[in-house]
A and B are shown apart, each in its own frame.
Chain A
Amino acid sequence: MSSLSASQNSAPFEVSPGYWSGVIGRLRRDPVAMFALLVILALVLMALFAPYIAPNDPYRGQLLRRLRPIGTAGFPLGTDELGRDMLSRLIYGARLSLLMGVTPVFIAFFFGAFIGITAGFVGGKVNSLLMRTVDVFFAFPSVLLAIALSGALGAGIFNGLLSLSIVFIPPIARIAESVTTGVRKLEYIEAARASGASSMTIVRVHVLGNVLGPIFVYATGLISVSLILASGLSFLGLGVKPPEPEWGLMLNTLRNAIYVQPWVAALPGLMIFCTSISFNLFSDGLRSAMDLKS
């Protein structure tokens, strides 16, 4: 993949506050990225304050009021197949859906960056050993690996998080390795070493500051994929188990209702779509604000 040539060829990032304030300034002038950020913040607030916002109990259903249409009095977004309030379930659903979608990328960022930076900085046999192992996992299409792992481990929130984290480690480790290898060859690292800095100091001061930025931007681009995949696992019956409100799982249990209340059944997917497109637009904005080519 030649995707990181930009960060290797052009001047490395300065850690001075000037660089980051420039990035933030450019982001602020990007209306699309700012709008996406607002949507993400609104979703996070919705997840945090769900009990205060939701008009009804998301778990309590009444069979007498199953599958009411959108616009029903008292249930503005209708009710689901067990007569539970859709609006409340969609609001509560943000909790598990965001948790299951965003957490794996952060876990993978931590481990992937660690593996990649170690491999890139140490080089040699360590690099070969680490990166060839990463290659094996990278040789699986991501959806297949996620489903294979969580299929073997069984349904459940923890198993879902574990499978998705493993899926995202290889791509992050690869990017981290290639950025670090590029930085390691630069002259100022040699200069630091010549002036007696220890390896730890070089990594902490000179490598991390230049490497974490690009890896982080790459990772934010994976959040939308992770959200779609996480909800996809629950949609298949892996991942989150009923009766928890989670958008993918809601989409799954409402699938049989498409002949009765098609638009109510489609609502959870719309939530996944809005969340994932917001993360994508924000990540794109961040990338161009940091002046990285995709």
Chain B
Amino acid sequence: MYIAKRLLYTLPVAFGVSVVCFMLVHIAPGDPLTSVLPPDASAQLQAEMRRLYGFDKPLPVQYFIWLAKTVQGDLGVSIATGRPVALELSKALGNTLMLAVLATLIGFLLGGLFGFVAGYFRGGWVDRLASFISIIGVSVPHYWLGMVLVIIFSVQLNWLPATGAGPGGSADWAWNWLHVRHLILPAITMSVIPMGIVARTVRALVADILSQEFIVGQRAKGLLDFGVFRHVVKNAAPTALAVMGLQLGYLLGGSILIETVFSWPGTGFLLGQAIFQRDLPLLQGTILILALFFVALNLIVDVVQTMLDPRVQRT
């Protein structure tokens, strides 16, 4: 029942998201055609192009034409490259997913460890140290951290490459050391954000569970530390996993800063290109796909979390 309600709630949100993505292009100042047309284009050519791109129709009509095409997987053609937006996106999305998934895993493992240790030994120096590390994680401007890591490991030590996703700037990925070494610095940089947030969440969860009566009671009855550990993990896991799922969505959507630092050929890089070349179909398509990804991820996280822990029902 809850799952059906949650599904039903997602549809209007997804619809709203598509309206916002569509409107983005139309709040942009200037004529969307200026980037394709030469400045001395004749009025006739301008009218011709406007008709070709459908800009001559009223806005709601344009929206529904765009929506109908989008639903069929046609995101239009990039103005700058002339290639289909869907094609450009699918390649970039793979690269960003790889980076974001790896970063989330690293962040979750380290954050879970720091958070658990901090919550378990709360009040002690271990707690203060782990909490300090996690607050650094949420406070550091990650694009700057990326730069600092490049300075240390690429410029000073010359251990790892500074930019790109493969030797010689190639964009074709392969699972070998020549490629994987390009992944290390961006993945570590990106993992700092979920690390800090997961650590803070897990610390609060663990401290809360340990102070609850049933744990205190179990301990009094002589339950060993391992038994307590099992209880804590069982109670903290659903929330921690939910936080991890949402973090993956945030990383996917917010990868532009890190991808810019490392020239990583993903969706963020694509977004940057779209913005600076005023490639509006590409901008619209990239934002729509990333946002819908986030909506879907939210849905999955909520459904999985309710299945793991029926007490939690978010709307």
Contacts and interface: CB of A to CB of B under 8 A. Distances in A.
A152 B22 CA distance: 11
Contacts of A284: 135
A28 B89 CA distance: 52
A157 to B, nearest CB: 15
Interface string B191-224: 0000000001000100000000000000000000
A149 B29 CA distance: 12
Nearest to B298: A139
A112 to B, nearest CB: 18
Nearest to B311: A2
B130 interface: no
A262 B144 CA distance: 12
Interface of A: 1-2, 132-133, 135-137, 139-144, 147-149, 151-154, 224, 228, 231-232, 235-238, 248, 251, 255, 258-259, 262-263, 265-266, 268-270, 272-273, 276-277, 280-281, 284, 293-294
Contact of B27 (A152, A232, A263, A270): A152
A273 B290 contact: no
B155 interface: yes
12 contacts: A2-B312, A133-B16, A136-B13, A136-B16, A139-B291, A142-B254, A143-B254, A152-B24, A236-B260, A237-B276, A258-B147, A262-B151
Contact of A148 (B14, B24, B261): B24
Contacts of A236: 256-257, 260, 272
Given A151-B271, A259-B155, A136 B139 contact: no
The 5 closest A-B pairs by CB, nearest first: A269-B144, A141-B253, A143-B254, A136-B16, A144-B253
User: Of B141, B256, B257, B290, which is in contact with the most chain A CB atoms at under 10 Å from its CB?
Assistant: B141
Contact of A294 (B16, B200, B271, B312): B200
B3 interface: no
A259 B28 CA distance: 37
B141 A269 contact: yes
Do most interface residues of chain A lie in helix, strand or loop, or is the interface mixed? helix
B257 A141 contact: no
Residue among B147, B250, B276, B298 with max Cβ neighbours from chain A (10 Å): B147
Contacts of A266: 144, 147-148, 151
B159 to A, nearest CB: 15
B314 interface: yes
Contacts of A255: 147, 261
Contacts of B13: 132, 135-136, 139
A144 B144 contact: no
Given A148-B283, A151-B271, 17 more contacts: A136-B16, A136-B20, A137-B20, A140-B253, A140-B291, A141-B290, A142-B254, A148-B24, A151-B274, A153-B27, A154-B28, A224-B139, A235-B143, A265-B151, A273-B144, A276-B140, A293-B204
A147 B256 contact: yes
